[in-house]
Chain A
Amino acid sequence: MSSTFETVSKIISETCDIPLEKITPESHAIDDLGIDSLDFLDIAFAIDKAFGIKLPLEKWTQEVNEGKAKTEDYFVLGALCGKIDELVAAKGA
């Protein structure tokens, strides 16, 4: 069974045509990988399908815009995978 990071990095690589080796847990989706909001919708759709969850993108964006969170809290891939694991665990609880 693939780890969360393996699944997410594969989705990003295929969706945005980014070589897999360039994607690390420390990569910032926007600043390092250059993923824009439109590509991120495709990624969110694929992640939602792969993990059976609903990434709360609107809530995250609002928190960042209001200064309650930093973009790296959600868009650095290691952190993103942690959030995905939390959502998957909450679904099964």
Chain B
Amino acid sequence: MRLEYFQMITRVVSFDAQAKTLTAAADVPAESPVFEGHFPGYPLLPGVLMIEAMAQTSGWLILGLNRLTAMPFLVGTNSTKMRDFVQPSTPLVVHAEMVGDGSGYAVTKAFITREGKKVAEAEIKFAVKTFPDPKFALMIREWGERLQFPFEKLETA
């Protein structure tokens, strides 16, 4: 996680094209400028960043299922719950499952666990659009390589 750059996923742990699920590791850093304000002397991972972590995990799931041919953009959430505080230096696991794969949109259910216990969950909606330009598509591909996205599994997606 690099909170100040909105890079919420540390690495992709698993991608199952048949089950339409993806799991990612998201290691909350020990220090970040975000914690200096949220909150001074009592650092907590902001809830909106937990939503972002679930959205990015869902985003990689959608990208995997469409073989990196179209980009998901967050447009809404439902049933969002923050169940517990998350402190710095916490390893999190983020799970996403596709529940609606439509024409130009996708809906996922996602949740975050800490040591197996759920700390956040949401249903997340995306508009899925063609990449704005080839450079953007390449940037996403390179980002996926840094996250160890299992590109070899795209053959089965």
Total cross-chain contacts (CB, 8 A): 35
How many residues of chain B are within 8 Å of chain A by beta carbon? 11
Report how far A44 CA is from B100 CA in the complex, Å: 10
Closest chain A residue, CB of each to CB of B126: A41
B75 contacts A by Cβ under 8 Å:
yes
Report how far A86 CA is from B132 CA in the complex, Å: 33
Interface positions of A (Cβ within 8 A of B): 38, 41-42, 44-45, 48-49, 54-59, 61
Interface positions of B (Cβ within 8 A of A): 75-76, 100-105, 107, 125, 127
* Residue contacts A-B, CB under 8 angstroms, 28 given: A38-B75, A41-B75, A41-B102, A41-B104, A42-B76, A42-B125, A44-B102, A44-B103, A44-B105, A45-B102, A45-B105, A45-B107, A45-B125, A48-B100, A48-B102, A49-B100, A54-B101, A54-B102, A54-B103, A55-B102, A55-B103, A56-B103, A57-B103, A57-B104, A57-B105, A58-B103, A59-B103, A61-B104
